[in-house]
Each structure stands twice: as C-alpha cells, then as structure tokens.
Structure 1
Amino acid sequence: MTGEVLRADGIGVRFGGVRALDGVGLGVRAGEVCGLIGPNGAGKTTFFDAVSGIRRPDEGRVLLDGRDITGRSPVWRARHGLRRTFQRQQLFGQLTVTDNLVVAQEWDGGGGGLAADLVSAPSRRSRERARRSRADQVLRQCGLYDLRSVYAGTLPVGQARMVEVARALADPPRVLLLDEPASGMSGAEREQLADVVRRLAGQEGCAVLLVEHNVAFVMELCARVVVLDLGTVLAQGSPAQVRADPAVRDAYLGTTA
C-alpha cells in the first residue's frame, strides 16, 4: 500500500454546547478498507459530514493526497475523487437505475478523470454513450445489470443500497466513504457488497472508510478498525485487537464479543 490518501487531523465539531467530535484523527491508505464503528451518537456520521464537506469542522483539518481541503465544498471534493453514501437513501426514485449512475457523471468539468474526459468529448451524443457505457460497466461489477431499466424508487431496500454504492463508483473514486451500506441487505447482498469493496480497494487502489453497525461484517471485511465513543477515538487496530480491547467491550461490543 502507498501512503495515506485521506487524512483527518484533530477534527472537532460542536453543536451548541455539545462536542460531537473532539480531536478525532484518522487516516486511510490507498487500497485499504478501514472500518469505523461505535455506539449510536458516537459521532461517526458527523465525522463523515466533516470529511465530505457537508459540515465544516470547528477545529482540525482534512487532507486529500496531502492537500488541505478543509475549506473546499462537497462538490469540489467529489470532483477530486472523494465520494460518499448516506444512511438515508438518496436515490432519484423517478429515474431508472442506469440513469441514476448517468446523473452521477454530470459534472461541468474541472475535476479530472472520467468526468473531465466526458466534458471534452466532441458531442453530446458521444458524452451520453460514454456515460451509459460506464454505468453498464459499474452495474455489472455490482451485480445490478439486470436491474438497469428498473425505476430506482421501486427497488427493495437491499438493492437500493447497492445502487447507491454503484452510483458513488460511477466516476471512479480515490476515497469512498460508506455510511451503513449493508443496512437492510440480505446475507447474499452483503456478500456481494463485500466483493465489490474488496475489488475496489485491491484492484483499483481506492481508500475505503466504512461505517456499519453490523460488527461481524466490519470485522470480516476490514483490515483495520477504528472505534469512536462520545466523539473521541476509543481504540484502533486489527479486528482481533479491537475485539480484545476491554474498553471497546465495555463501551460497544459487550462481554460476549
């Protein structure tokens, strides 16, 4: 693995007098799948919001490939390869599965990668063909190709979650933040998701940060796990190290972990 693609240093976020995050530091390397776990209210989604630009932290900074992006917008970050999904489904229900992925490639330029190539294409028709070709490629990789013409709003929860992941991959990411992607998925769908994430990290070198309440899924998929509790990093290490940590057991996993 190469060096850290994403780095968050000393992230602090306050909501009035409540400190949701207090000096959180976390880095993710290219090709790494890192899990972020903790009890409800630990600050996991708030951390994602700070990293993705939805909320500017009160303290600390966010680095992408060593570049300080703390003041950059969510759109700028997405154009430069930092993508995320959300706890609450954000699909365009009136569009087909394919069109959800095509819309995700509708940049206005300036970001590099596939998006910039599409903008510079000689005609609208060729841009559309390129977008749809990329959408088909990602849908095949995610096991969704047979659903390409289905309206997204009609999908059951597990399939809709996978479409959200596919949409985040429509323009290849450098960093992917997955916020409870396995919620509502069947066992087979979770296995498909795990395969997609492993390929994304192992073959494409993407840095993946995964928030998920299914601890068994996290421990099986991630090489490293970070535990948040009350807005601070409680522990981090390999799955085995985190499972064995008494503080983690007391705060989150329980004595039968």
Structure 2
Amino acid sequence: MTAYVLETDAVGVRFGGVRALHGVGIGLRPGEICGLIGPNGAGKTTLFDVLSGIRRADEGRILLEGADITRRSPVWRARHGVRRTFQRQQLFGQLTVRDHLLVAQEWRRGSGPARRERAATVLRECGLDALAQTYAGGLPVGQGRMVELARALADPPRVLLLDEPASGMPAGERDRLAAVVRRLAAEQNCAVLLVEHNVTFVMELCTRVVVLDLGEVLAEGTPAEVRADPRVRDAYLGTPSPGRTPTAAPPAAGT
C-alpha cells in the first residue's frame, strides 16, 4: 500500500514548444503540510491544475492512494476528496458566506440540517461566523480568501491544494489561516499542498518543502534543508552561493 494519498509519477506538460513541467514526481502523505515554492514560471499552478484535473498531463500519471486517476475529471476528483483554492479569488458575489458552504455540500445526499450544522462548524473554525449572512461580493481580499478556504473544507477533504491562500491577508488573518491548516492536517489527517510566495510563511507552516524551477523538481526536504541548499538560494531565495549568480526567472508558462 502506498504511503502517499496523492502523488505524481513523471508528470510532464507542454504549452506548444514550452515545457512547463518535466518528469515531476512528488507525493503527499496524510496529515502532512507540504510547501511548493519556486520562481515565477516554475510550473506551480500548472502542477495544481494537473493534480485537480483542470489540465491533462501530456506525460506521466496522477495517483490517488495508489489508483491511477490521470483521466478522471475535476468533478470526480473533488467528490473523492481532492479540493483546491485558486490564485485568483473565485467567489460568487451574490451569495452569502454561509451559502458558499451549503452549495459546496449539495452533491452529497443527506439532510439540510446536517449540511447547515457542518457549515456552522466550519465558519466558526475559520473565524467567519459573524459574516455568515454577508454577501461575498463585498468582502475585502483577506476575508474572501478565508471564505474560499472554508468552502473547500465544507465537505471534509482528503487532499487540499492551496494556491496562494495568504495573498492579501494581514498578519492576524494569516495566523488564523495557519491555525486552521494545522488543525486540518493534525485532526483530520488531510494532506495539504501549499503554494505561497511568502517564503517565511511557508517555512514556518510546512514540515516539508518542494522547490520547482523551470518545470522540474530542484530540491525537496525539510524547511531547514531547503534553505541551506545552494541550488535553491541561487534559483529562488535571492542569496546566491559564493562565486555564483542567481538564475534569472524564466518566462511565465504557468506559475
């Protein structure tokens, strides 16, 4: 039995003549918070699109608990516990915050009271209960990000893919976000993959970090190991090794 709940096997993606991903192999363990970092254009969002089924890989496989789901649709993956948020905020402005969580549970059979109870629990855990009846279109960016997270948690996920969830958040909201993610991993054994340009936030929250550069895995390890890797310093962290110059960011082919 595989140790990973979700993994990629030599995944490759091309946009015409541009190689966005090449031979990418990563695995997410239950209860783990894994960071995914790299320069703009490294392929991070492209990898999220492949994992969630929005984009089909040109090469390789996607495995969910050892089963090949490469050709499964985004809807199938979502219903089997693979959830994500997006780099660009995706909210329904004319729905209330509470309605977002109720809609996320509509596909499941069950009573309305059970869905409302679950929505109330998640709103409370995410610090959004006071905003339950507020229309999402009027929320500031940071609160909107929390609503997106709450919607992804409304139906408990097995895997959560977070694409820049802390973007636009003040420090207090980032702390709440981190607390929710830690609790999700520890108490519900959910695997979390986090893309975030705030490297400090990633290093403090994640137990493992994967670095992409030019569509390939450049490094992988604990936050301390990744920080100390000279290839990572040269390509991304802006602290080049002695005698070397940083690698220039490639043209964007998927962040």
Q: TM-score range by the shorter chain?
A: over 0.9
Q: CA RMSD in A?
A: 1.2
Within 2, Cα distance between the matches of 1:93 and 1:103?
A: 14
CA distance in 2, matches of 1:87, 1:133: 29
Identity %: 75
Aligned residue-pair number: 240
Q: Distance in 2 between matches of 1:58 and 1:138?
A: 37
- Opposite residue 144 of structure 1, the aligned amino acid is L
Look up the SS of the partner of 2:34 in the other structure.
strand
Partner of 1:91: 91
Which structure 1 residue ranges, 5 or more long, are not aligned?
108-114, 122-126
Distance 2:221 2:35 in 1: 10
Aligned residue runs from structure 1 range 19-38, under 5 A:
19-38=19-38
For the pair 1:189 / 2:162, whether they are aligned, the reply is no
Question: Is the 8 Å Cα contact of residues 230 and 240 (structure 2) preserved in structure 1?
Answer: no
Tell me the SS of whatever aligns to 1:185: coil
TM-score (norm 2): 0.92
Show structure 2 runs of 5+ residues with no match: 242-255
Assess if the C-alpha contact under 8 Å between 2:234 and 2:240 holds in 1.
no
What is the CA–CA distance in structure 2 between the aligned matches of 1:147 and 1:208, rounded to whole Å? 26
CA positional deviation for 1:3: 2.1
Equivalent residue, structure 2, for 1:78? 78
**Counterpart pick for 2:211 among 217, 222, 227:** 227
CA–CA separation in structure 1 for the residues paired with 2:214 and 2:152:
29
The DSSP-based 3-state class of the residue aligned with 1:208 is strand
Q: 1:135 to 1:17 in 2, by over 3 A?
A: same
Q: In structure 1, what is the equivalent of residue 163 of structure 2?
A: 179
Provide the C-alpha distance between the structure 2 equivalents of 1:224 and 1:231, rounded to a whole number of angstroms.
Answer: 19
Contact 2:165 2:196 in 1 (8 A): yes
The structural deviation recorded for 1:256 is: 8.0
Return the alpha-carbon distance in structure 2 between the equivalents of residues 49 and 4 of structure 1. 19
- Structure 2 matches for 1:3-152, cutoff 5 A? 3-107=3-107, 115=108, 119=109, 121=110, 127-152=111-136
Instruction: Give distance in 1, aligned partners of 2:216 and 2:18.
Output: 13
Q: TM-score, normalised by structure 1?
A: 0.92
